Structure 1
Amino acid sequence: MRPFYLLLLTGLLLGQADAAPKSKPVSKPVAKAPPAARTAAELAEMIRPSLVKISQMGREGTDGIGSGFIIREDGLIATNLHVIGEARRLQIEMHDGTTHEVSTVQASDSHLDLALLKIEAKGLKALPLGDSSKVRQGEPIVAMGAPEGLGFSIVQGVLSATREIEDRQMLQVAVPIEQGNSGGPMLDMQGRVLGLLTLKSLKTDNLGFAVPVNELKTLIEKPNPVPMSRWLTIGALNPKLWKTHLGAQWTQHAGVIRSEFPGSGFGGRALCLSTQKVPEESFEIAANIRLDDESGAAGLAFCSDGGDKHYGFYASGGKLRFTRFNGPDVYSWTILADVPSDAYKPGEWNVLRVRVEPERIVCFVNGKKVVESDDTGLRGGSAGLCKFRTTVAQFRNFRIGTDLSEKALDPEVASKMRSKVEEFVADATSSEKTLEGLLESPAAAKRVLVEQRRKLEEEATKLRELERELHRRAMTKEILAELAKPEPEINLLRCALLLARHDNPEVDIASYLTSFRAMVLDLKEDPEIKAGTIPAVKRLNRYFFEENGFHGSRGDYSNLSNSYLNEVIDDREGLPITLSVLYVELASALGVQGVFGVPLPGKFMVGFRDGPEGELQLVDVFEHGKLVTVEQAALDLTEDGRFPEDALAPITKQAVLLRMLRNLMSSVFDNSRSLRESLPYLNLFLAIDPKAAPERLTRAQIRQRFGEKAGAREDVNWLIDNFPEGGPPELMQQLDVWMRALQE
């Protein structure tokens, strides 16, 4: 078949997706003679007044240190986002030792790992920004920062190359980048900033990377300021649910608690205790835990007095350790068990569970018992999480109950399911006898084993794909069940999160719904929200864009993350439609009348009317909540300056979800990913809207390309049966020819 169908359908899909924002013409400045090159010593003297040291301040003092530099005389400072962390008070130290508190996080971008900070100061010396698009391989450069938190230093090197790392262009530099250098400037020999130091190479100390400075210019042009008072709440643990002890940095995103930096207790011990009451007598606690470095330790704490006395069951050095802590120092510790276990998977998520009874304690990892102890030294108290040393640990799904064990499947259901999946389990008990037989002809045996291994790997791949498809179909079923409700009862927020979970099974929908409810509580009693639609929209704009920093994607528009509502909530960055969904659902939850999504061609916006007969006004959520008239929007988005009538009508929740799916498919095409990656979206789209002819035509084309003739025949047959009256006869003829070819 000719590529006509694919080209036609790709065009149709891209035409219906939200287009990338139009770029405005930029006037070219008059060229000036470049400044003269300087020596490293001259640069050091010139640059030093513009460098700053950035400290994350915790309860116990400094939790982390990085570098930054002044880019505006009124106190605007550039650095890496990972340098400032989340929910941490930030202190800026100038070259002369004076310090300032950060008043505003002026801009942040998780994809670029960049941040702009604002301090209340004037008359500072700013560094000039160069043009990173004009850098040349082998060009001499200097890098400056505060390695390991020490005084400001300078190192000279060369620009090695421009590399793509995780879909981002980075500048590779032949200079050592140490901890504390991140966020410092990389400059040419004229003193112009070309990039921000960020990554240290794992292969050699004399190699690092820098974010190109042109990426920083985007943040300067389009800030998303968040006052420090609000920044301190982003990612912070809910104090009603958790109490921390002995420091470390504990943050939370989407149900995942993350702990960084050592605690102040001996061995870097730190605790995060749940406020949930532990049942009397027997009880269980459990959590999913992952360590980035197995030389550290993290796990469960229980029977805690809220201080230094508690039990700990945790992963440490690839083993499982059960310890009783009776005080603050090593002499107060009793290691009750330290055992290896094949059930523990280093570097992966592992489920740790503990059962506490009056006379014994039993510890499990991934459902397998690894420790049983009759120690009764501690009972009662609180339960939660613990972490040791410098490892970064992640925790999710912490729970307390009387019985948290995984319940056995119903025998009849289990038998039915197992009959549908072929078993590929070898009998390990006969391995020695098997080896004796194989040694009779080792060469032949090896060939047979390789063949069998490859076969099993192929089967494992098929089973993984079956597991993925089962998950997708389960999510599709949940989405269809939600959309089957009457329109006012459909939870669009949940639908959008289910769409994200369709791609990523680890998305914790309940946690994001909890985060959304926290946003509702922030505004529920606000007098402006209760004062009518127009005051409420103004308040929503301030809350959304000025206080919380939500903003449109600055450069990586087709990144799939912009279409996943969970990542939009985490990163506060997204597409017009995902930002609009969150905005409209927040307005709805607060009871604000007359606020709805408006499906303008090429750009989704939020519309509002002050009463049923009020004039329609628009909020451009992609442009920081800018208020625009219908006429202005039409001039910007259409060639003739007019919208079709249906473009201004409120959109149904099903139509919103379909438009989000079109954006996901558009991102697949834009990023030249495999066409097969678009099939799950097409399948979901057609499950929601079986009458969507363009998407069905696209799926037929892709199915045929990958040899799925039965599926392609099904789609082409549907297109023939539903061919519109009066449609082009030549297109019907092509469909008939196509069907005959598929039947051969």
Structure 2
Amino acid sequence: MNQLVQRFMWGILIGVTSTLNAQDPVTFNEVPLEVSQVDNENFLQTVRRSQESTVVVEMLGRDGDPLGIGTGFVVRSDGLIATNLHVVGEARPIRVRLYDEREFQVTSIHATDKSRDVALIKIDATDLTPLPLAEPGSLEQGEVIFALGNPQGLEHSVVTGVVSGFRDGVDEMKLIQLAIPIEQGNSGGPLLDMDGRVHGMLTLKSRLTDNLGYAVPIDAVHDLLESPNPVLMEQWLTIGALNPEQWEPQGTSVNWRQRAGEIHVSGQGDGFGGRALCLHRADLPELPFEVAVDVRVHEEDGAAGLAFHSDGNDIHYGFYPSSGVLRLTRFDGPTVYSWNVLQDQKTVHWTPNSWNKIKVRIEEDRLSCFCNDELIFEQMHPQLQSGKIGLVKFRHTTASFKRFRFGSELPDERPSPEVLARVNSLANEIPISRPIPIDFVREQTDLDMVGQKAFHSAAKNLEAQAQQLRVLAREIHEEQTRQELVAKLEASPPELIEAALLIARLENPELNVEEYRQTVDALAQRFLDSIPEDLPPAEILDAFHEFLFEKNGFHGSRTNYYSASNSYLNEVIDDREGLPLTLSILYLELAQRVGLTASGIGLPGHFLVRVDLPDEQKYIDVFDKGTVLTEMMCRRLVRETTGLPWNASYLDPQDATSIIKRMLRNLIGIANSESDLEAALRYTRTVLAIDPNSVEDRLYKAVLCYNTERWDEGLEEVRKVLQEQPPEIELGRVRELQDAILERQRESESGSD
């Protein structure tokens, strides 16, 4: 519970609520140390020297005006500067102002570490004076320190204090607790000892008291200096950006971002009421037609939804929730005096704090507005007859959108009476006091997403069965995904990228596999468009590596290697970092599309790619930005990472099934390390869907079923093994497992009577 609360409450990244897991008593009566208590003259000289190496970091809007301010400090004389990642933001231009008032645009993001909120940024400057970095772990509790920053825009301010403790943050990240105030603008500033050595980077303020803050230890900067992952600014600005061929955001102050198939919007629009539009560029069908989107508004008083019949400026219709009330408005100009609320209504069909589908049917003589496919109101004889469609938000609203679509007639996604009757019938059959049998789940895999939504609706009315219904919907989704995955691997040729994305969809049901496949296609086409048509294969390979690793910034995840995100191919594509295996899968798919012959090489402990050129074979370490390895280097890599003796078969190409099984075993390992039994079972079931004869996986699944109280499913696996009697398995231990499951099953059933 403590860990759950810790994660839920994490972070004031200077403005976002934060609570830390302080295991020791914390007192808040420390006050900043007065400068008069130290050697004043030496201290003042140290401050002046340090200020000259401290900078102002500004994140800019599209119009070039600052959207936020933070602090950074020089770590290398050629223009390398350390700061917080949240100061840099996402896909925004960044400007640095030195102590001598010179200004520079950031040319590249030299390295980032999301888990520790640290970034290194590069400017075109020379002969800068870097601050000396202290040795990691050399700071002690009670030590006198000072910090530099730009609190509330007051540039190059200094504050003194003491180290009051060391605390654990999220994901075992260590933080330095400081008896000093931290304000907006301090983020990224250096924490220094009295000799001017940097021991940390200011990052968090306390929500409990003004005179308490936190800093990331300098270890994080040392790590990034040793393992950079540079991305040029022109590529950084495209990370998470909307596709400009599809979307046209209006104005400069609102941040429209795209990730994992969702569009997220934050910030306040330039127009009256904070209105901001993001219009779709597609040609519209002739009237009548429908436009719909799923929207989630994150504030109770938020307002965001659909815009249509827009002239591209201030005139348009809007259908959206506003403070929980559905509203249809005609906007005839820039101010509230030209806004006409045509209809508004509070309805039970809108579910707060959840995804809701809103839809408008646009006809020549009427507008029909729907919420979750229920008609809310109609407006006859609309004055506006044509224009663009898109998204709109108001005020301070942060919102998320997905599944934006339009067409002559969009499908009604409400469950049919037959599906509802089936769900209600199933609700009476689902056991309440024990897990749902896997065979029962398999019988329902013909239900589509509409059917799964019906389960969620039924759960609201059947409180006693609600959790089981959600589990059933989830497991139907997982079983459907497994079936799709097996079909992709059995295709001729196997569809590796779709199979890899389906693994991510096990965890994220909303993931659109086709969208990410198209993203890979587009990335390959961009590369092909950048090279001459008659380039020899060896030169194609060199250009391909430069394109993938240098220009687009794909790199191995070194600072958060064991994160599950590194095994989800969609997140690897989004974040441009991953494990050797996931990066290699992307490499293989791109290589195939650009005319290179490549295959996966599954070395124990480290996955590689082999590229076959006309006169040689090259072993490529995609994790290390395309480093070419010799066979001898491969042997050494296996010995150093696993200690195993060399076997020539390690260099045999891996087929798609072997690659996907290895991907799943990585995720099982992560789930085990995090004691996530449900995730471990999810991926073990998937391994067995691919390889049903794996005795080891059957027994491991039985153990997981024992620990998650899935007695029947576990017994099924144990009995299969006992029936087949494989010679390599000690059957006595298997019978002990069977007896343990039966005993727990009897105890559970007797306890529920």
TM-score under structure 1 normalisation? 0.84
Match of 1:638, SS state, is: helix
Match of 1:511, SS state, is: helix
Give the aligned partner of residue 436 of structure 1: none
Give the aligned partner of residue 459 of structure 1: 465
Does 1:536 pair with 2:537?
A: no
Q: Offset of 1:38 from its aligned partner?
A: 6.2
Does 1:48 pair with 2:51?
A: yes
C-alpha distance in structure 1 between counterparts of 2:135 and 2:214, whole Å? 17
Superposition pairs of residues 205-216 of structure 1, within 5 angstroms: 205-216=210-221
1:401 paired residue among 407, 411, 415: 407
Preserved CA contact (<8 Å) 1:529 1:535: no
Give the aligned partner of residue 313 of structure 1: 319
Give the aligned partner of residue 32 of structure 1: none
Match of 2:331, SS state, is: strand
Match of 1:643, SS state, is: coil
Give the aligned partner of residue 130 of structure 1: 134
1:112 paired residue among 109, 116, 129: 116
C-alpha distance in structure 1 between counterparts of 2:463 and 2:622, whole Å? 48
Structure 1 residues without counterparts, runs of 5 or longer: 1-35, 425-452
Preserved CA contact (<8 Å) 1:195 1:213: yes
C-alpha distance in structure 1 between counterparts of 2:152 and 2:323, whole Å? 26
Preserved CA contact (<8 Å) 1:523 1:529: no
Give the aligned partner of residue 61 of structure 1: 64
C-alpha distance in structure 2 between counterparts of 1:462 and 1:130, whole Å? 54
Q: Offset of 1:394 from its aligned partner?
A: 2.3
Question: Quick one: structure 1 residues 477 and 391, their matched pair in 2 at CA, closer, same or farther if it must change by over 3 Å?
Answer: same
Range with bigger deviation, 332-341 or 384-393:
332-341
2:495 paired residue among 487, 491, 495: 491
Q: Offset of 1:374 from its aligned partner?
A: 3.5
Does 1:84 pair with 2:88?
A: yes
Amino acid corresponding to residue 499 of structure 1 in structure 2: I
Amino acid corresponding to residue 718 of structure 1 in structure 2: K
Match of 2:544, SS state, is: helix
C-alpha distance in structure 2 between counterparts of 1:226 and 1:668, whole Å? 31
2:284 paired residue among 271, 274, 278: 278
Preserved CA contact (<8 Å) 2:364 2:381: no
Does 1:580 pair with 2:584?
A: yes
Amino acid corresponding to residue 93 of structure 1 in structure 2: R
Match of 1:583, SS state, is: helix
Match of 2:613, SS state, is: coil
1:471-529 per-residue CA deviation (whole Å, 9 max, x = no partner) reads 1111111111111212x2x2211111110110121323233223212211111234368
Does 1:607 pair with 2:591?
A: no
Question: Quick one: structure 1 residues 738 and 241, their matched pair in 2 at CA, closer, same or farther if it must change by over 3 Å?
Answer: closer
Match of 2:216, SS state, is: strand
Preserved CA contact (<8 Å) 1:686 1:692: yes
1:319-340 per-residue CA deviation (whole Å, 9 max, x = no partner) reads 3333222222333222334443
Give the aligned partner of residue 433 of structure 1: none
Amino acid corresponding to residue 278 of structure 2 in structure 1: C
Match of 2:51, SS state, is: helix
Give the aligned partner of residue 428 of structure 1: none
Give the aligned partner of residue 432 of structure 1: none
Give the aligned partner of residue 721 of structure 2: 719
1:314-371 per-residue CA deviation (whole Å, 9 max, x = no partner) reads 3333433332222223332223344434443444333222222333323333334444
C-alpha distance in structure 2 between counterparts of 1:113 and 1:369, whole Å? 46
Q: Offset of 1:140 from its aligned partner?
A: 4.0
C-alpha distance in structure 2 between counterparts of 1:460 and 1:527, whole Å? 56
Give the aligned partner of residue 394 of structure 2: 388
Superposition pairs of residues 14-29 of structure 1, within 5 angstroms: none
Give the aligned partner of residue 446 of structure 1: none
C-alpha distance in structure 2 between counterparts of 1:233 and 1:515, whole Å? 13
Give the aligned partner of residue 13 of structure 1: none
Question: Quick one: structure 1 residues 732 and 522, their matched pair in 2 at CA, closer, same or farther if it must change by over 3 Å?
Answer: same
Does 1:258 pair with 2:241?
A: no
1:657 paired residue among 656, 660, 670: 660
Question: Quick one: structure 1 residues 742 and 350, their matched pair in 2 at CA, closer, same or farther if it must change by over 3 Å?
Answer: closer
C-alpha distance in structure 1 between counterparts of 2:741 and 2:402, whole Å? 49
C-alpha distance in structure 2 between counterparts of 1:370 and 1:237, whole Å? 31
Question: Quick one: structure 1 residues 737 and 346, their matched pair in 2 at CA, closer, same or farther if it must change by over 3 Å?
Answer: closer
Give the aligned partner of residue 621 of structure 1: 622
Give the aligned partner of residue 15 of structure 1: none
Q: Offset of 1:376 from its aligned partner?
A: 2.1
Does 1:645 pair with 2:651?
A: no
Preserved CA contact (<8 Å) 1:679 1:699: yes
Superposition pairs of residues 3-402 of structure 1, within 5 angstroms: 44-62=47-65, 63-171=67-175, 172-247=177-252, 248-374=254-380, 376-402=382-408
C-alpha distance in structure 1 between counterparts of 2:152 and 2:582, whole Å? 40
C-alpha distance in structure 2 between counterparts of 1:37 and 1:633, whole Å? 56
C-alpha distance in structure 1 between counterparts of 2:721 and 2:503, whole Å? 27
Give the aligned partner of residue 704 of structure 1: 706
Amino acid corresponding to residue 579 of structure 1 in structure 2: L
Give the aligned partner of residue 636 of structure 2: 635
Percent identity, aligned pairs only?
42
Preserved CA contact (<8 Å) 1:109 1:571: no
Give the aligned partner of residue 33 of structure 2: none
C-alpha distance in structure 1 between counterparts of 2:723 and 2:681, whole Å? 22
Amino acid corresponding to residue 710 of structure 1 in structure 2: D
**Aligned residues between the structures:** 672
Amino acid corresponding to residue 49 of structure 1 in structure 2: E
C-alpha distance in structure 1 between counterparts of 2:543 and 2:702, whole Å? 48
C-alpha distance in structure 2 between counterparts of 1:403 and 1:41, whole Å? 72
Question: Quick one: structure 1 residues 356 and 620, their matched pair in 2 at CA, closer, same or farther if it must change by over 3 Å?
Answer: same
C-alpha distance in structure 1 between counterparts of 2:162 and 2:361, whole Å? 58
1:394-450 per-residue CA deviation (whole Å, 9 max, x = no partner) reads 2221112233352454544543343222399xxxxxxxxxxxxxxxxxxxxxxxxxx
Give the aligned partner of residue 681 of structure 1: 683
Q: Offset of 1:214 from its aligned partner?
A: 0.8
1:293-314 per-residue CA deviation (whole Å, 9 max, x = no partner) reads 4444322211100111112223
1:1-53 per-residue CA deviation (whole Å, 9 max, x = no partner) reads xxxxxxxxxxxxxxxxxxxxxxxxxxxxxxxxxxx976675554332222222
C-alpha distance in structure 2 between counterparts of 1:704 and 1:140, whole Å? 54
Preserved CA contact (<8 Å) 1:616 1:630: no
Match of 1:422, SS state, is: helix
Question: Quick one: structure 1 residues 659 and 420, their matched pair in 2 at CA, closer, same or farther if it must change by over 3 Å?
Answer: same
Give the aligned partner of residue 501 of structure 1: 505
Amino acid corresponding to residue 607 of structure 1 in structure 2: R
Match of 1:263, SS state, is: coil
Match of 1:377, SS state, is: coil
Question: Quick one: structure 1 residues 403 and 202, their matched pair in 2 at CA, closer, same or farther if it must change by over 3 Å?
Answer: farther
Question: Quick one: structure 1 residues 718 and 130, their matched pair in 2 at CA, closer, same or farther if it must change by over 3 Å?
Answer: same
Q: Offset of 1:711 from its aligned partner?
A: 2.8
Amino acid corresponding to residue 390 of structure 2 in structure 1: G
C-alpha distance in structure 1 between counterparts of 2:81 and 2:54, whole Å? 9
Q: Offset of 1:552 from its aligned partner?
A: 1.3
C-alpha distance in structure 1 between counterparts of 2:204 and 2:354, whole Å? 24
Q: Offset of 1:705 from its aligned partner?
A: 4.0
Question: Quick one: structure 1 residues 454 and 342, their matched pair in 2 at CA, closer, same or farther if it must change by over 3 Å?
Answer: closer
Question: Quick one: structure 1 residues 144 and 737, their matched pair in 2 at CA, closer, same or farther if it must change by over 3 Å?
Answer: closer
Q: Offset of 1:544 from its aligned partner?
A: 1.6
C-alpha distance in structure 2 between counterparts of 1:209 and 1:386, whole Å? 38
Range with bigger deviation, 628-637 or 124-133:
124-133
Does 1:561 pair with 2:560?
A: no
1:646-697 per-residue CA deviation (whole Å, 9 max, x = no partner) reads 21111010110000011011112223x1434311111111111012122122
Question: Quick one: structure 1 residues 131 and 341, their matched pair in 2 at CA, closer, same or farther if it must change by over 3 Å?
Answer: farther
Give the aligned partner of residue 487 of structure 2: 481
C-alpha distance in structure 1 between counterparts of 2:203 and 2:426, whole Å? 50
Match of 2:658, SS state, is: helix
- Which of the pair has the greater relative contact order for Cα pairs under 8 Å at 6+ separation? 1
